[in-house]
Structure 1
Amino acid sequence: MPRPISIGLNAAIIAIRDLSPVILEVRLPGMAQQRASQPSPTSPYAADADLAALPFGPFEPRRHRTLEMGLRSWVKQLTGLRLGYVEQLYTFGDRGRRLESDESEPHEVSIGYLALTQLREHADGGAEAQLSELGWGWRSWYSHFPWEDWRADRPALLDEQIIPALEQWARDAPDDGNKPLSPKQRLRLSFGIDGPVWDEERVLERYELLYEAGLVTEHYKDRGLAPDPAKPLFGQPMQMDHRRILATAISRLRSKLKYRPVVFELLPQSFTLTQLQETVEAISGQHLHKQNFRRLVEQGQLVEPTGASSTSTGGRPAKLYRFRRSVQVERPAPGLRFGSVGPVGKETSQ
């Protein structure tokens, strides 16, 4: 008899808080015993109740005409959050994405979404209180991918631990010919060593390489194995394949910055150019040269002055700007085409 399949919607809900990109996570420590005594075959949280997960909701075709409508509906109902930009990422349904004790349980297929929201809209605390009651909270995505944050400089973790461990793995890994590039070539391109620049969009490729090399917890959890004590493990793990879904969302958002004005979905209606730059830096994981960035903004004609100023910085009043929405009909790809960072963390042009 064929195994039944259940379909759900996973959302990587992203906002900016304290100059850091944060994601909404589900934490259910108080519900672990409840789920153990009353297991739900369609719940992605039952396997590892101590680990954070991305929000998950069912698709109910009788109530929602489209998948996106279903996503927006249950997020608003559960959290009080209003989602802005929403984009479908990928369907995640590989066998083994969760260890099931009973093969008769439905196999879970998740349709992953990237969703953006503004925390400033919920400053009254109502949504925060609602999230707290659910056991949900916000966390920097760099806790899961600390090697991706280059804003201060090239992370020391890369040269001190990650790259040596990957180089050892690449030397020993057999090349089975199933991939177009060898392990060494994939390492070189994904992590920008021995010549290539660090491409901030290759978040998923870097995570996949760490997963394959046994350098993240999920490699062992998915196989029901104990971690190799001889290997370090990097980044905070998540339930099931949710860190892979999140890596996909980060890659997509970093790419979108360059040809779609999605960054303005994370900003208030009026903002300073410094706020705009810091938001782009938070998402891209790079430090950007101030004058070069402002030249990009000016050339792109993405913003226009409001005529007002802000004194919140405590220094000279800073001019306030707003997104110039007409740019979306003036040209097909209005974005910020900033450069990537090189092997030593210096900005390079594209």
Structure 2
Amino acid sequence: MPSDKPSRPLRSHKPTETSLSIDLSAVIVAATAEEPRVLTLPFGSEPLDSLPSGPLQSEHRTLEAGLRAWVEQQTEQKLGYVEQLYTFGDRDRAEGIDRTGPALSIAYLALVREARLTRLTHAAWRNWYGYLPWEDWRQGRPKALDVIESELAAWARAGGKQSKQFREERIELTFGFRSGAWSDERVLERYELLFEAGLVPEALREREEETGSRRRLAPGPPMALDHRRMLATAIGRLRGKIKYRPIIFELMPAAFTLLELQRTVEALSGVRLHKQNFRRLVESQGLVEETGDVTAETGGRPARLVQFRREVLVERPAPGLRLPGLRRTAPSTE
């Protein structure tokens, strides 16, 4: 039964001992056919969004059990699919939490079907491209890259002769401004490069000398602590994993159309896909089967409904959507 008391906004956690503390954070992802969404909470009285999180406590039987307990307490969201993402331990990138000793922050990726949030919680679903707008290529080159490309070029030049070439190579590897190559999975690498170049507000929290500079920051609001870094890690992991595991269906309803499946994959990957090629791929992989029903909600002629074919899990070891290599192109009209 849900509590009759409103859940409190996320706030800093203060351990009572000087021993190692462990924080558990959840990147909870849901998706519609057009928008990938992440569940967030306000960070105390600060104008920042944060991920659901809390400290590991003695009553938690396992790390995952502790995570699920905190998420349900703070958001009333019950988690299904959960996997551990990464363990973060950078002291300088977790300012704002009162600690008396060293700390680790363990991030998890959770996939859910979006549920309506009650008035008893401060949680909110947000479009994840609001925080990382340069990752969405579905309508062509993101405008955010105009600022990023210019400022990264200036950062490369500022490194002097010894560092300029190395920095330019890193920029090209992660963003591909000259070649046009774009790896949808390098989300964390792009964020980390922007952090190193001082182009995200999170970097300025520990660089007081930069606050008075005229450098333009990459568009997109910061998140509390290191949570935007965790979000970038989760997006890159999910984009990679849908290519070799059928986890996309954790985000789909029981029955859906092939177009809805395509649009959801596009929302997560940030690129448009060729309609007929995508359908051939799904059919050749044997990932879905028809339900025998149709829907007229598509606006045109009735579309056939399909469902995930679970037998594929025992038929081969890597039943995923093997998307072709991505290059930055104009959005498809098909």
Q: Place the TM-score, normalised by the shorter chain, in its bin.
A: 0.7 to 0.9
Unaligned 5+ segments in structure 2 are 1-16
Aligned residue identity for 1:327: V
Instruction: Please report how far the alpha carbon of residue 105 of structure 1 lies from its aligned counterpart in structure 2 after TM superposition.
Output: 2.5
Size of the aligned set, in residue pairs, is 314
Correspondence for 1:79 among 75, 78, 82: 75
Q: Distance in 1 between matches of 2:120 and 2:245?
A: 35
Structure 1 residue 152 corresponds to structure 2 residue 139: yes
Segment of structure 1 superposing worse, 231-240 or 286-295: 231-240
C-alpha change, 1:187 and 1:73, in structure 2 (3 Å) is same
Query: Which residue does 2:4 correspond to in 1?
Result: none
Segment of structure 1 superposing worse, 53-62 or 141-150: 53-62
Q: Is the 8 A contact 1:51 1:239 kept in 2?
A: yes
Query: Which residue does 2:29 correspond to in 1?
Result: 14
Query: Which residue does 1:204 correspond to in 2?
Result: 188
Segment of structure 1 superposing worse, 223-232 or 6-15: 223-232
Q: Distance in 2 between matches of 1:244 and 1:187?
A: 18
Query: Which residue does 2:262 correspond to in 1?
Result: 277
Segment of structure 1 superposing worse, 55-64 or 90-99: 55-64
C-alpha change, 1:133 and 1:101, in structure 2 (3 Å) is closer
Q: Distance in 1 between matches of 2:161 and 2:73?
A: 49
Query: Which residue does 2:176 correspond to in 1?
Result: 192
Query: Which residue does 1:62 correspond to in 2?
Result: 59
Q: TM-score when scaled to structure 1?
A: 0.83
SS at match of 1:165: helix
Structure 1 residue 246 corresponds to structure 2 residue 231: yes
Query: Which residue does 2:121 correspond to in 1?
Result: 134
Q: How does 1:159-308 map to 2 (within 5 A)?
A: 160-173=146-159, 182-195=166-179, 197-224=181-208, 227-234=211-218, 235-308=220-293
C-alpha change, 1:175 and 1:264, in structure 2 (3 Å) is farther
Q: Residues 176-211 of structure 1: CA distance to partner in whole angstroms, max 9, x if unpaired? A: 88xxx9211110010012226100100000001111
Q: Distance in 1 between matches of 2:328 and 2:302?
A: 37
Q: Is the 8 A contact 2:88 2:106 kept in 1?
A: yes
Structure 1 residue 116 corresponds to structure 2 residue 102: no
Aligned residue identity for 2:159: A
C-alpha change, 1:201 and 1:69, in structure 2 (3 Å) is same
C-alpha change, 1:71 and 1:148, in structure 2 (3 Å) is same
CA RMSD of aligned residues (A): 2.3
Q: Distance in 2 between matches of 1:97 and 1:296?
A: 42
Instruction: Please report how far the alpha carbon of residue 333 of structure 1 lies from its aligned counterpart in structure 2 after TM superposition.
Output: 0.6
Instruction: Please report how far the alpha carbon of residue 133 of structure 1 lies from its aligned counterpart in structure 2 after TM superposition.
Output: 3.2
Unaligned 5+ segments in structure 1 are 33-48
Q: TM-score when scaled to structure 2?
A: 0.87
Q: Residues 213-264 of structure 1: CA distance to partner in whole angstroms, max 9, x if unpaired? A: 1110011113455624411112110111111111000000000010010110
Q: Distance in 1 between matches of 2:74 and 2:200?
A: 31
- Identity, in percent, stands at 50
